[in-house]
Structure 1
Amino acid sequence: MEVNAWVEKITNGMVKNLLPNGSVNACTRVILANALYFRGIWAENFDKSKTMDNKFHLLDGSVVQAPFMTSRKKQYISSYKGFKVLKLPYSKDQENRSFSLLVFLPNKINGFQNLIEMALADPTFFDRHVPREKSGVGNFMIPKFKISSGFEASRVLKSLGLELPFSEQADFTEMLADSSSKLCVSSVYHKVSIEVEEEGTTAAAATGVLMMKCCYIPPVDFVADHPFMFAIREDETGALLFLGHVANPMVETSM
């Protein structure tokens, strides 16, 4: 399929088969697709020789062994009620833009759900919880992880209140050369792939929308050995490029 081939090319092969077999049929009239590819190199790389396995605590109480990166250098870390935030800056890109990975770590192993709910309930959450100063670190460990995820997002969007584009009242006439066609959104497919390791982060995402008729401070410990939330953020505008969570760094694919 032409759309899938385009997405795979734009994302450097990280996102494949965005639109599954059968998603495009005789009723499909328009496909809107976008893709994003991000390759960030840490401003300060992690030493691969210091990466070692350690315990990561899962939500069900079990434990897995995962490779953890570490460093003795000062880090951007802030502590808040119930959680800590780590900012890992990337080197500036060719256009002199700066991006950072934000890691939101609940203090309690089982505090992940409360943190998610807190973030989703406050539109200013991410802007208000960005570390501004470096701190000396005590015990500092971040797991390497690679995640690929894909899903059909119509139900989620509708549950958030986005009903109109899926209904007969939808109006996309200004987007179409043939304004006589009455269209509504039938499906929204989203896929993302992200890898965090010693040199930096590689991430890609794509979305396809089908229409049919009808993102002196004392030393601080930051040990991400239990589920956490992360975001890749453009520093100046605050725009979120990627937003996700790690429940098990040893599970690469979650569908």
Structure 2
Amino acid sequence: MHKHYEQVNSQLTQNIAFKLKVPIEAETSSFNTYFCLLLANNILQEKGVENGSNTVISPFSFHLLLSLIAVGSNGRTLEQLFHCLGSKSLEEINSLASQMIDLASPFKESNGVSIGEPDLSFVNAAWVAQHLKLKPSFQEIVEGVYHAEKVVAEVNAWAETATRGLIRSLLTAEALKVVNEDTALILANALYFKETWAQLFDTSKTKQRVFHLLDGEKVHVPFMTSNRFERYLYNKFEDFKILKLPYKTKQLLQMFKSNPEYFNKRFDLVNEKISDFWVPRFKFEFEPPFNRRKAEITEMVDSVTGRLFVRKMFHKCFIEVNEEGTEAAASTAVMIEQQQQSVNPNPSFVADHPFMFMIKEEISGVVFFVGAVLNPSLDS
């Protein structure tokens, strides 16, 4: 398998690109949270609930890869991507992408010393078939707004390095089977996130408790807890509760089977003393399936004898939540092929039933990760 991929890779010339800051001039659209949550909802319904498995995806990673595809698209495909991304023009898409990438590079220099939290990084990469040449306009976008870097190894090795070893084998054996002489482009990105809680959990207080599965079965898993009557931003609704756990430098859970738009509005969370608080530790990896898609991709390369279309998309996510904080990573790759021709005075929050979680930047509304824990004892 490795030798086969090296042979394929030898027929691809790595796109040399540079990290450039693009000034934000156009009025930008907002991050389309609704689309990302609808995507997560579909994956949850098709893959998670059916198999009782945990799920996690990175809307941030998807959003930026779809943005890059939009830059190289035309016609109805571009219109559909505008709708999905909540944008009206390529200027809006590129401007928002620039802001999102800057958001994932929050480190500043102070007297030569890098400061800032959390540990957050994001990179893009592009492989281009040797017989094809990127259109200057698309190459400028790849090298500028999306901060693509020179790629000197296989996609898998690149993704593993970019995610600090958390995402391995992004392109599976199935991917290697479909990489052939018709493969024109491989676009990929990788996101890494690691942050500690504003208030760490005491590991000595972690203990085994019962978690109730969707099928009525019970499993015993380690639950973390805090001091009684600790204050959290919290609210209770008819069918669910939401509690916000802040990270060290930043100031949701919910059931959204029928209405993912819940997260598109601001909840009136109140600073409450929580009498009984328990949340399970969990650690798992998730890889949703994607089917073959067609698209009008005409603005990426010159001298194409056949139409380009998205042959396959791959996405893999990893997350670990424990007493110290959260570590998560995601990588997305797309293969583009050339076609021949009312609140309680002392409320409690005990997450002992399946729940949803989200890692979200408050000011911009950008969602880095969203997922569901149906069984915290799996993949741990």
Q: What's the TM-score, normalizing by structure 2?
A: 0.55
Q: Show the 5 A alignment for 1:1-255.
A: 2-24=154-176, 25-26=179-180, 27-72=182-227, 73-92=230-249, 98=250, 102-104=252-254, 115-120=255-260, 122=261, 125-130=262-267, 132-154=269-291, 166-167=293-294, 170-214=295-339, 218-252=345-379
After TM superposition, give the deviation of residue 119 of structure 1 in Å: 3.6
- Whether the aligned pair in 2 keeps the contact of 1:76 and 1:86 (CA below 8 Å) is yes
Unaligned runs of 5+ in 2: 6-153
After TM superposition, give the deviation of residue 127 of structure 1 in Å: 3.8
- Whether the aligned pair in 2 keeps the contact of 1:173 and 1:180 (CA below 8 Å) is no
Higher relative contact order (CA 8 A, sep 6+): 1
**In structure 2, C-alpha distance between the alignment counterparts of 1:153 and 1:232, rounded to whole Å:** 23
Going from structure 1 to structure 2, the CA distance change for 1:131 and 1:34 (only over 3 Å counts) comes to farther
Percent identity over the alignment is: 41
**In structure 2, C-alpha distance between the alignment counterparts of 1:45 and 1:32, rounded to whole Å:** 38
After TM superposition, give the deviation of residue 134 of structure 1 in Å: 1.7
- Partner of 1:68: helix, strand, or coil? strand
- Partner of 1:77: helix, strand, or coil? strand
Counterpart in 2 of 1:108?
none
Q: Which has the larger radius of gyration?
A: 2
Counterpart in 1 of 2:28?
none
**Structure with the bigger percentage of strand:** 1
**In structure 1, C-alpha distance between the alignment counterparts of 2:352 and 2:344, rounded to whole Å:** 23
Q: Tell me how many residue pairs correspond in the alignment.
A: 220
**Structure with the bigger percentage of helix:** 2
- Worse-superposed segment, 219-228 or 131-140: 131-140
Unaligned runs of 5+ in 1: 93-97, 105-114, 156-165
Going from structure 1 to structure 2, the CA distance change for 1:20 and 1:221 (only over 3 Å counts) comes to same
After TM superposition, give the deviation of residue 77 of structure 1 in Å: 1.0
Letter in 1 for 2:319: I
Letter in 1 for 2:184: R
Q: What's the TM-score, normalizing by structure 1?
A: 0.80
